[in-house]
Each structure stands twice: as structure tokens, then as C-alpha cells.
Amino acid sequence: MKYYAVRRGVKSGIYTSSKEFKECIRDYEDPEYKVFKSEIDAEHYIMRYRVRQKSKVKEG
């Protein structure tokens, strides 16, 4: 099974359906995503981005 992790898109999250995944990045100017074989790896990818975004807000 593939896990599509979307960091930046119409709606961020983890998807197992390529159709849902494509809808989440379609028409988004600069999407950020990655495909994983494990759900845990996909979750870590999303969580690292969220932590980095929170630290940027605190610094700014």
C-alpha cells in the first residue's frame, strides 16, 4: 500500500487513495508531498513539517 503525505496543498494530510491525493495537490501552486510505503514514515514527514512551522512562528 502507498501512503501519500501532503505537507502543502489544498488540504494537507495522509492519503491512501491516489485519486484523493491528486485532488489535494491539483491547482495548488507549489505543493509539497512525498509517497511512502509505511504510514509511520508518512506521519513523521508531516509532523516534522508542522514542528518546523511552529518554530518559525515562535522565532518570527
In this prediction the pTM is 0.81
What is the per-residue pLDDT across 13-44, written as a single tens digit (0 to 9) for each? Answer: 999 999 999 999 999 999 999 999 999 999 99
- Whether the pLDDT of residue 5 is over 80: the answer is yes
Q: What is the DSSP string of 1-60?
A: --EEEEEESSS-EEES-HHHHHHHHTT-SS-EEEEESSHHHHHHHHHHHHHHHHHHHHH-
